[in-house]
Amino acid sequence: MLAQKADDIYRDSNDKAKQSITQRILANIKRDENNVSGALDYYKESLALATEIESDFYQIKTLIPLAGMLIDTDMEEAIKLLKSALTLARKNGYKAYTLESYRYLRLAEKRRGNTAASLQYAEQEIALSEVIQEDTSNNELALEKAKLHSLRLEIELETLREKNKLDKLELARKNNEIEIAQQATTISELELTKNRYASVALALLLAVCLAAILLIYRRFMLSKQHNRELDYLATRDPLTNCFNRRVLFDLMERDFARKPKPEDYCVIMIDIDYFKSINDSYGHTIGDLVLRGVAKTLQKCVRQNDIVARFGGEEFCIVLPDTSSHQAMRIAENMRETIQVCRFDDIAITCSLGVSSIRFNATTPSEFIDQADLALFKSKSLGRNRVTLWSEALARAQD
Considering the domain boundaries, does residue 121 fall inside one? no
DSSP helix/strand/coil, 234: helix
Q: What is the DSSP track for 160-183?
A: HHHHHHHHHHHHHHHH-GGGHHHH
* One domain, residues 320 and 200: no
Res 230 pLDDT > 70: no
What is the tens place of the pLDDT at every residue in 180-202?
Answer: 567 877 878 888 888 888 888 88
Q: What are phi and psi of 295, to 5 degrees?
A: -60, -45
CATH of the domain at 69: 1.25.40.10
Q: At 309, which amino acid appears? A: A
DSSP helix/strand/coil, 303: coil
Q: Which domain holds residue 250?
A: 245-398
| Spatial distance between the Cα atoms of 173 and 167, rounded to a whole number of angstroms | 10
Res 306 pLDDT > 90: yes
Q: Is 33 a catalytic residue?
A: no
Considering the domain boundaries, does residue 123 fall inside one? no
Q: Domain tally for the chain?
A: 3
Residue 227: what pLDDT? 57
CATH of the domain at 326: 3.30.70.270
Identify the domain boundary among 80, 113, 146. Answer: 113
State CA 199 to chain mean position distance: 47
* One domain, residues 275 and 149: no
What is the tens place of the pLDDT at every residue in 37-94?
Answer: 888 999 999 989 989 988 999 999 999 998 888 888 889 998 999 899 999 999 999 9
Average pLDDT of the segment spanning 104-119:
90
Considering the domain boundaries, does residue 119 fall inside one? no
Helix (H) or strand (E) holding 318: strand 315-321
Q: What are phi and psi of 356, to 5 degrees?
A: -140, 155
Considering the domain boundaries, does residue 118 fall inside one? no
Reported pTM: 0.47
3-state secondary structure 43-104: HHHHHHHHHHCCCHHHHHHHHHHHHHHHCCCCHHHHHHHHHHHHHHHHHHCCHHHHHHHHHH
Residue 159: what pLDDT? 73
CA dist list (Å): 298 to 7, 315, 339: 66, 12, 8
- Annotated catalytic residue, options 158, 314, 337, 392: 314
End-to-end CA distance of the chain: 72
